[in-house]
């Protein structure tokens, strides 16, 4: 059997056979057979039919050699790289980095209540609640196996693909090859292609399974290939880690990922709070403090009662829309959500929508929709103006990150204002009134 498999492996172009060889080769107690000389056609560089794109062909020749040098299976390398072709999305004349998410600013430019519209829509919440109700045995098993709350799992499933409705329809090797050729994310794309090769070499999936969204994320909960290698699970035990068609495998993979990201069962991701009059919003500074500290500073749970933290002792105060909007104490599980997508708004949508699918819809407080958040261009003006006045807002990048909020809070404090760090038109007007840095200094400031 071993002998047969090894002989066949030189002439059969099948990843499954490679897996069989690997399995047989590791059978205990069997001596390895003598090496068999490979036919001449199976050594040296792999030749490919032209892709129709010169840059892609050049890249493929080099990357193919790199993959072979790294020890990847020849037939796997060939099967991953043979069918690639230029995609308009990545290599066409209308390529726009913003459209492909390379700039990743969408989550920052929108007011949070706009961002939440889809994740918190009635249809999303209803579907999530049905998914939970339809298969309680699966979610019981997932919670037991991974110590991750079902609401978190189902919420991520909703966020990533609307519960499998929008998984993407690209060939994963092809989108990653296009990303590599486009160049801006070349090393990431090449690493992910190596991971795809490993997936095939391990026999975890078949070549035809490798379907992805436009950026190479795969399956029900959009795993990148390297994430698949690290965390994908075969929950139904059929030998394949089928994150594309098998919900048990896909959701177990997500739970496994969250568990390894530090998620703790039965702890909140966040607790909405109310603040007593005169509360110092400067404490929303990104620092974690003990729950007792927050309570004595004047925060109470918005839904009443005592803080129920499931044993978590520390939280930070977060004001997603400033002092006039809903306020949250954020716990460690929020950080676990951010490992999926490193945006506060994303993690917030996961937490909030999961809670709603579980039957508790938030927030209790209403959004201050009368306040006008800033555009990316206006954030840049704000950042430059804060920097010019000695409040360190960091780089002028148009992203209102923690540093920008901190600088705005320091400015607000210095003027005796409510120091919530929320960048609105009103705040911008106050900061620029004191500054020589205005619209003229920023070419994008007219938006």
Find the shortest distance in angstroms from Cβ 248 to Ca ion. Answer: 7
Which 344-373 residues touch Ca ion, going by CB under 5 A?
none
Q: Report the distance separating Cα 275 and Cα 278, nearest Å.
A: 8
Which 215-274 residues touch Ca ion, going by CB under 5 A?
234, 236, 238, 240, 242, 249
Element of type H or E holding 330 = strand 327-330
Find the shortest distance in angstroms from Cβ 205 to Ca ion. Answer: 10
DSSP state, 73? -
**What string marks each residue from 177 to 216 as x (binds Ca ion by CB under 5 A) or -?**
----------------------------------------
Catalytic residue status for 160: yes
Comparison of 140 and 238: residue with beta carbon closer to Ca ion? 238
Which 38-97 residues touch Ca ion, going by CB under 5 A?
none
Comparison of 233 and 344: residue with beta carbon closer to Ca ion? 233
Q: Are 180 and 189 in contact (CB under 8 A)?
A: yes
Comparison of 242 and 420: residue with beta carbon closer to Ca ion? 242
Find the shortest distance in angstroms from Cβ 221 to Ca ion. Answer: 15
**Which among 241, 196, 247 is positioned nearest to 217, based on CA atoms?**
196
Residue 338 structure tokens: 């951010």
Contacts 24+ apart (CB under 8 A), 20-28: 20/203, 22/201, 22/202, 22/203, 23/203, 27/2
Find the shortest distance in angstroms from Cβ 19 to Ca ion. Answer: 15
- Cα 75 to chain centroid, rounded: 31
> Phi/psi zone of residue 409: left (φ > 0), alpha (ψ -120 to 50 degrees), beta?
alpha
Comparison of 244 and 348: residue with beta carbon closer to Ca ion? 244
Find the shortest distance in angstroms from Cβ 234 to Ca ion. Answer: 4
Q: Please identify which of the residues 75, 151, 160, 247 carries the catalytic annotation.
A: 160
CB closest to Ca ion, residue no: 234
Contacts of 262 (CB under 8 A, 6+ apart): 332, 333, 335, 336
Comparison of 238 and 392: residue with beta carbon closer to Ca ion? 238
> Phi/psi zone of residue 322: left (φ > 0), alpha (ψ -120 to 50 degrees), beta?
left
Find the shortest distance in angstroms from Cβ 201 to Ca ion. Answer: 18
Q: List, as one string, the DSSP characters of 380-407.
A: HHHHHHHHHTT----S--S---HHHHHH
Number of residues in contact with Ca ion under rule CB under 5 A: 6
Find the shortest distance in angstroms from Cβ 25 to Ca ion. Answer: 23
Comparison of 203 and 362: residue with beta carbon closer to Ca ion? 203
Q: Report the distance separating Cα 398 and Cα 336, nearest Å.
A: 26
Contacts of 257 (CB under 8 A, 6+ apart): 223, 227, 230, 231, 339, 340
Comparison of 219 and 362: residue with beta carbon closer to Ca ion? 219
**Which among 165, 180, 81, 96 is positioned nearest to 124, based on CA atoms?**
165
104 makes contact with Ca ion (CB under 5 A) = no
Q: Report the distance separating Cα 169 and Cα 87, nearest Å.
A: 13
Chain contacts with Ca ion (rule: CB under 5 A): 234, 236, 238, 240, 242, 249
Which amino acids are annotated catalytic?
Answer: 160
């Amino acid at each position: 059997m071993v002998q047969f498999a090894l002989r066949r492996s030189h002439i059969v172009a099948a990843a499954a056979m490679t897996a069989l060889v690997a399995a047989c080769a590791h059978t205990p107690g069997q001596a390895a057979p003598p090496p068999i000389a490979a036919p001449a056609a199976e050594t040296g560089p792999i030749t490919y039919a032209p892709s129709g794109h010169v840059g892609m062909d050049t890249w493929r020749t080099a990357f193919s050699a790199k993959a072979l040098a790294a020890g990847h299976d020849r037939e796997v390398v060939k099967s991953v790289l043979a069918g690639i072709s230029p995609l308009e999305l990545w290599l066409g004349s209308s390529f726009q980095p913003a459209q492909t998410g390379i700039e990743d600013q969408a989550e920052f430019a929108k007011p949070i209540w706009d961002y939440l519209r889809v994740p918190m829509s009635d249809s999303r919440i209803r579907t999530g609640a049905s998914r939970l109700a339809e298969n309680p045995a699966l979610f019981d098993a997932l919670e037991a196996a991974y110590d991750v709350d079902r609401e978190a799992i189902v919420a991520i499933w909703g966020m990533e693909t609307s519960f499998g409705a929008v998984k993407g329809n690209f060939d994963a090797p092809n989108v990653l090859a296009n990303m590599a050729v486009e160049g801006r994310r070349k090393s990431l794309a090449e690493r992910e292609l190596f991971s795809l090769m490993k997936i095939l070499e391990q026999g975890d999936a078949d070549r035809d399974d490798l379907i992805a969204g436009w950026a190479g994320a795969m399956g029900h909960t959009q795993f990148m290939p390297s994430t698949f290698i690290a965390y994908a699970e075969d929950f139904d035990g059929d030998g394949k880690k089928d994150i594309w068609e098998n919900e048990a495998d896909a959701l177990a993979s997500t739970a496994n990922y969250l568990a390894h990201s530090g998620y703790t069962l039965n702890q909140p991701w966040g607790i909405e709070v109310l603040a007593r009059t005169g509360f110092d919003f400067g404490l929303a500074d990104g620092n974690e403090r003990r729950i007792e500290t927050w309570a004595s500073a004047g925060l109470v749970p918005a839904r009443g009662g005592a803080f129920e933290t499931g044993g978590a002792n520390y939280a930070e105060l977060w004001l997603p829309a400033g002092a006039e909007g809903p306020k949250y104490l954020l716990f460690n599980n929020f950080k676990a959500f951010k490992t999926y997508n490193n945006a506060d708004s994303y993690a917030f949508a996961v937490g909030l929508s999961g809670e709603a699918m579980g039957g508790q819809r938030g927030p209790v407080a209403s959004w201050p929709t009368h306040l006008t958040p800033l555009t990316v261009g206006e954030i840049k003006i704000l950042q430059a103006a804060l920097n010019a006045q000695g409040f360190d807002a960091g780089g002028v990048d148009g992203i209102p990150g923690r540093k920008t909020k901190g600088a705005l809070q320091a400015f607000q404090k210095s003027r005796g204002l409510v120091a919530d760090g929320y960048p609105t038109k009103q705040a911008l007007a106050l900061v620029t009134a004191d500054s020589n840095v205005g619209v003229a200094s920023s070419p994008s400031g007219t938006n």
